[in-house]
Amino acid sequence: MTTNRVIRFLHRGTLVEAAGFAPMTTVLDWLRLDRRLTGTKEGCGEGDCGACTVALGRVKDGRLVYEPANACILLLGQLDGAELVTVEDLVTDGRLHPVQQALVDHHGSQCGFCTPGFVMSLFTLYHAAGGATDRAAVLSRLAGNLCRCTGYRPIVDAALAACAAPPADGHHDRRATSAAMLAGLADTADVFVGDDNAFFAAPASLDSLAVLMESHPDATLVGGATDVGLWITKQLRTLPKLVHTGRVAALRALDETASALTIGAAVTYAEAEAALGALDPDIALLIDRLGSAQVRTAGTIGGNVANGSPIGDMPPLLIALGASVTLRLGGSVRLLPLEQFFLAYGRQDRSPGEILTHVTVPRPEAGDHLRVFKIAKRHDQDISAVMMALKVRLDGRRIAAARIAFGGMAGIPKSAAAVEAALAGASVDDATAVAAAVARLRDDFAPLDDHRASAAYRLRVAGNLITKGLMEIAAGERSSTRLVPLREAHHAA
Ligand SMILES: Cc1cc2nc3c(=O)[nH]c(=O)nc-3n(C[C@H](O)[C@H](O)[C@H](O)COP(=O)(O)OP(=O)(O)OC[C@H]3O[C@@H](n4cnc5c(N)ncnc54)[C@H](O)[C@@H]3O)c2cc1C
Ligand code: FES
Ligand code: FES
């Protein structure tokens, strides 16, 4: 197996080979400090504001696609194999890009600090939309871009105007050349930049990854770096050894069978959205509300699980669906029900050097009904205060089995075992039995007070979510019976 001692990516139509960089270097720092390209701005430095948005071009399913990314928490090494496009790269022959011109025409900028980020998010939408977009797609694409002085109406108007036309810019004209250059970077070599004490590595196979992690159990695995990036920029941690999983084809695959989805740990939300969302409209809505477009195109399902956060959105859903995880340490592979992976706050059943390789999600069966509710202060781009996923299997009107999992209610994502037991065998129409089961929540959880919500609020809302879910299921699977706000109604239809 060959090893590349550089990372290789395209920037401004040319091949960049970067060696000797510090492993924790972010794309934003490389652009602004190294290349002196200061059009890309730093606002929050933690993935929240979108001022630093850049576009990454990759060939997916034989087509060149551009996706938005937060340069402040994207590691330079993650650019390997991609095309980097920044706000400096959009003008063609002295003419503004159509999205820039539309922002001018619609008065979409005042102080302009947020504007490069909006331009780059809209650049990706412009290419994805192919001349047909709508307000919902614009709002979803812009949920990760904050503007504090212009207001969103003129920006959304500009987006709708610019993206109504089929793409016709320099990047579209050069797409065949760019795709061919990117194809030339798609080799099967491992990437290792640095030395044994400090490195950025991106093995190309699962075997190489397992060998590397076994010899460096102190290394930090990196999927999309939407959590790890903040350890660097906000917690100022020193992470000398970084191992990126994004080059391992086996971890990038999502396999679908009649009975289950097997999701590689490095599959992003954007890549998993269609398959997971097809299981149930509530899942599609949850993923649409998870982070922003920038976060969903980098962040992985595996990272969300491995991070073990008590307020991560995927674990409660996956626990309710009965998911399991596959872990690999060196040559040994083991399978674990997901719930058993979470041991205590900040502690997972994962040995140093062990890799989460796959998450296997059984498909809901006939008679299964799912409800997923995320309670957060904002609709978009917010972390849950409480998150519930409930799956019940009905046998006629009787609840044959219930799986209910919560985030935000304990130090780990956790099932409401006492509630589940109390519901088993009850009629879904029996309000007294449901209320008695909900009262058992106090046996399952003693939630914390924190800045997101008080313990009393959490317990109250958790009970209400179970009740709401069961009421909806009892009323039947019609959109008119879904107790959803107007904004969410189209997902439930
Ligand atoms: C602005 C913003 C908004 C967010 N919104 C949400 C939200 O709404 N809901 C939500 O749940 N989360 C949210 N997050 C958190 C984050 O996006 C998710 O947790 C994401 O899934 C992490 O995936 P990643 O690939 O980026 O993980 P990384 O940051 O790369 O890694 C996270 C952890 O997993 C470990 N890891 C990664 N891959 C593996 C592997 N294969 N094997 C073992 N360990 C591994 C890493 O070492 C690290 O401990 C948000 C983050 C940001 C910055
Ligand atoms: S600077 Fe705010 S998202 Fe990067
Ligand atoms: S124009 Fe000032 S923050 Fe958007």
Domain with 258 in it: what CATH number?
3.30.465.10
Which structural domain range is residue 389 located in? 368-492
Measured distance CA(431)–CA(206) in Å, rounded? 51
For ligand 1, atom 21: residue with the closest CA:
304
pLDDT at 478: 59
pLDDT at 131: 86
Measured distance CA(397)–CA(44) in Å, rounded? 51
For residue 143, how far is its CA from the centre of ligand 1 (angstroms)? 18
Residues 465, 426, single domain; the answer is: yes
Q: Say whether 178 sits in a helix, a strand or coil.
A: helix
- Torsion angles phi and psi, residue 46, rounded to 5: -145, 25
For residue 43, how far is its CA from the centre of ligand 3 (angstroms)? 11
Positions of the chain with pLDDT under 50: 486-487, 491-493
pLDDT at 487: 45
What is the SS3 assignment for 138-163?
A: HHHHHCCCCCCCCCHHHHHHHHHHHC
Question: Where does a domain end: 331, 362, 393?
Answer: 362
Closest CA to 224 of 272, 194, 267, 189: 267
For ligand 2, atom 3: residue with the closest CA:
47
Which CATH number do you get for residue 375? 3.30.390.50
Which residues have C-beta atoms less than 6 Å from ligand 3? 109-115, 147-150
What is each CA distance from 385 to 230, 273, 447, in whole angstroms?
Answer: 20, 22, 11
Residues 334, 410, single domain; the answer is: no
For ligand 3, mutation pick of 44, 118, 148, 152 (most atoms within 8 Å of CB): 148
Instruction: For the beta carbon of residue 397, count every other beta carbon within 10 angstroms.
Output: 11
Residues 341, 381, single domain; the answer is: no
For residue 170, how far is its CA from the centre of ligand 3 (angstroms)? 27
pLDDT at 481: 57
Residues 373, 482, single domain; the answer is: yes
Which CATH number do you get for residue 144? 1.10.150.120
For residue 150, how far is its CA from the centre of ligand 3 (angstroms)? 5
Is 67 part of a structural domain of the chain? no
Residues 323, 351, single domain; the answer is: yes
For residue 307, how far is its CA from the centre of ligand 1 (angstroms)? 6
pLDDT at 479: 59
Residues 424, 474, single domain; the answer is: yes
Looking from the CA of residue 118, the nearest atom of ligand 3 is 4
Q: Which residue has the tokens 């550089």?
A: 6
Q: Which two tokens stand for residue 476?
A: 């039947």
Measured distance CA(78)–CA(9) in Å, rounded? 10
Pocket lining: 291 vs ligand 1, CB cutoff 6 Å: yes
Q: What DSSP character marks residue 13?
A: T
Residues 391, 408, single domain; the answer is: yes
Q: Which residue has the tokens 């097809």?
A: 278
Residues 346, 420, single domain; the answer is: no
pLDDT at 477: 64
Looking from the CA of residue 41, the nearest atom of ligand 2 is 1
Residues 314, 394, single domain; the answer is: no
Q: Which two tokens stand for residue 364?
A: 């809901």
pLDDT at 476: 82
Residues 356, 327, single domain; the answer is: yes
pLDDT at 492: 45
The number of distinct structural domains making up the chain is: 3
Pocket lining: 57 vs ligand 1, CB cutoff 6 Å: no
Closest CA to 262 of 358, 354, 385: 358
Residues 348, 257, single domain; the answer is: yes
Is 185 part of a structural domain of the chain? no
For ligand 2, mutation pick of 29, 70, 75, 380 (most atoms within 8 Å of CB): 70
Measured distance CA(245)–CA(225) in Å, rounded? 10
Is 211 part of a structural domain of the chain? no
For ligand 2, mutation pick of 30, 38, 54, 72 (most atoms within 8 Å of CB): 72
